Amino acid sequence: MDIPKENFSEWYNTLIKEAELCDLRYNLKGFVVIMPNAADVISRMYRLYEDALEARGHRKSYFPALISEKNLEAEKDHVEGFAPEVFWVTRAGKNELEEKMILRPTSETAMYPMYSLWINGKCDLPLKVYQSCQVWRYETKATRPLIRGREFYWIEAHNVFDSEEGVLSQVQEDMETTEEMIHQSFGVPFLFFRRPQWDKFAGAVDTYAADTMMPDGKTLQLPSTHNLGTNFAKVFNVKYMDDDGEEKPCWQTCYGPCISRIFAAIVSIHGDSRGMVLPFHLANVQAVVIPILRKEGSETVIRFVQEVTEKLAKNYRVVADFSENTPGFKYNHWELNGAAVRVEIGARDIESGKAVVVRRDTGEKESVPFEELPKKIGEIGKEMNASLREKADEWFATMLKEADTMEELKSALENGEGFVRIPFCTDSLEGEGCAEKLKEECSANVRGSRHDANEKPSGKKCIVCGKEASTYQYAARQY
């Protein structure tokens, strides 16, 4: 596609179109069609993520997409936070509905009334149930395909415990799940933050979130997990009978990895000027076989390529490209589409007993004897995964900066890039004033303090107000 990645916005839009990830012509603001090239990868990600959750004791469910107005309004902070971006269903056919409904923007208010019926005693706890679904939010900010839409595809896991300890250890587990999936499996680096109080999920006690960084230096929130305390349990009557014979409200968490957005991060972080690059286990095409045909002897090559393809197909997702295009055209096409390994086979190769094998991320070429192809492709896959992650980690490390004064912060953000660690006065309401000033001065948001590392400033002053700093916060421009 030949668009340099430095111009991220243009690069991203071009990739979306040319690699046929989304069709943007749906003509409803904030809604796109996710095409097979993207949907296949997204399905694979869903499967892996669901496996990771189920391995930790979560079970799958399907809840309705519509929620009654009554339910939505039960939790005061929650409804206040979400009401501005809720899609309403107020009419059916020709009738105005007596009881209005909403399209779920998230499913707390759909699930917890049911939880109230399901949970009676300690024996029902912990309850760990998730669903994979679409949700809808009437975004007023600029929408971008897969990154921010009015509809997105996610998993939401809703967990119930009999104590605050259960909640805190669930947050810990969610952090581990995030590391395993987002970083280890998908090769996407992130920082795991505890959000400041003014920026938490509507109705939560605490919000934690994994923030990655896009190539243009702006941060993008990936999974978030929320300590809901007993806030929702109290209004939805989710309670259990304790040892002392008294009914007590349950403790809850919810965890929400947005798979469609994580896909956008994977594509953005690993991709290059030729197009999409995906971790081997996510790639739609793990190996593409390109026959090199000449006028004479093409039948032999075709037959040979078919045989090789069949053998490889036992272990990998493989296609052989017999289209009429020239080899060069095919190379470009499959690089754009993120095929992990390319195998070129012509008469010359058949004679020498070796195929030319090319690795997508580095472009490295080598000759591999035909009988070793299956093993070799597996090895390349492993190396590719490790190297994609390492490369992303190295780049991510260069995006972490530090500032003790507003001037330093401004110069650190001069190109609008990166996370800047800053000493800050407090998470409280007083802190919000400082965060607002900070935003005014350098258009960066305060994203929170590290939850995956213990960082305390000593003897430092708040970067905004100059009072004693009690915490390190991270400032960044955000999507």
Partner RNA sequence: GGGGCCGUAAGGUAACCUGGUAUCCUGCAUGCUUGGGGUGCAUGUUAUCUGAGUUCAAAUCUCGGCGGCCCCA
Among 206, 349, 417, 427, binds RNA (CB under 7 A): 349
331 contacts RNA (rule: CB under 7 A) = yes
395 contacts RNA (rule: CB under 7 A) = no
340 contacts RNA (rule: CB under 7 A) = no
293 contacts RNA (rule: CB under 7 A) = yes
Among 43, 172, 326, 428, binds RNA (CB under 7 A): 326
Closer by beta carbon to RNA, 90 or else 325: 325
- In the complex, least distance from residue 181 CB atom to RNA, rounded to whole angstroms: 28
Among 5, 17, 311, 391, binds RNA (CB under 7 A): 17
Which residues ranging from 118 to 157 are in contact with RNA (CB under 7 A)? 140-145
- Give the binding range for RNA (CB under 7 A) out of 157-165, 175-183, 188-196, 292-300: 292-300
- Give the binding range for RNA (CB under 7 A) out of 326-334, 371-379, 402-410, 463-471: 326-334
Which residues ranging from 361 to 390 are in contact with RNA (CB under 7 A)? 363
- Give the binding range for RNA (CB under 7 A) out of 62-70, 121-129, 321-329, 370-378: 321-329
- Give the binding range for RNA (CB under 7 A) out of 75-83, 88-96, 201-209, 319-327: 319-327
Closer by beta carbon to RNA, 189 or else 275: 275
Question: 336: which 2 tokens?
Answer: 């754009």
358 contacts RNA (rule: CB under 7 A) = yes
Judge contact between 217 and 199, C-beta under 8 A.
no
State the residues that interact with RNA by CB under 7 A: 1-2, 9, 13, 17, 24-25, 27-31, 140-145, 274, 292-295, 298, 324-329, 331-333, 335-336, 344-349, 356, 358, 363, 439-440, 443
